Amino acid sequence: MDGHYSFENCLFCDIGRLATAVDLLYLDDKVVAFRDHRPAALRHYLVIPVEHVGPTVNSLDKISKHYELVNHMLNVGKDLLCRDAPNSVEHRFGFHQPPIHTIDHLHLHCLALPFIPEWRKMKYTPLDGIGFVDAHNVLEKLKP
């Protein structure tokens, strides 16, 4: 599940272990959620597994454990955006995949639109499986 990546120096593993100071929006035994440090929208949160999973969504297998994890991540993200941005134009949920990922630890982007600035939408718009992938499509592919 963690491939060959060494997660000793993984920033998101540190956040999941509560080893670094980050303002958490949500925490349970499976995931944590926090604000993206470079927000691209009105609200931009990340939901990550506490356990190292990665490096990307492409590392997930069609097994119930991965399906349940992504489903839980999505539900946490939806709840947070419904709470914090109920009047947003749109909520968008997805994952970056190579070559557009920056951290080798699975993370769900949860965005309450509009994009700020508008040009940032390019990085968070699904394009036929390239770059940003809609979380609902990932769930469909992982369904056991």
Q: Which is nearest to 135 in space by CA: 14, 51, 45? A: 45
- Characterize the bridge pairing of strands 132-134 and 41-49: unpaired
Among the listed residues 96, 107, 109, 136, the single catalytic one is 109
Kindly report whether the peptide bond that precedes residue 144 is cis, defined as omega within 30 degrees of 0: no
105 is catalytic: no
Q: Find the helix or strand (DSSP H, E) in which 139 lies.
A: helix 135-142
Cα–Cα distances in angstroms (integers) from residue 37 to residues 10, 29, 43, 58, in the given order: 16, 23, 11, 24
CB 59 within 8 A of CB 1: yes
Task: Please give the positions annotated as active site.
Answer: 109
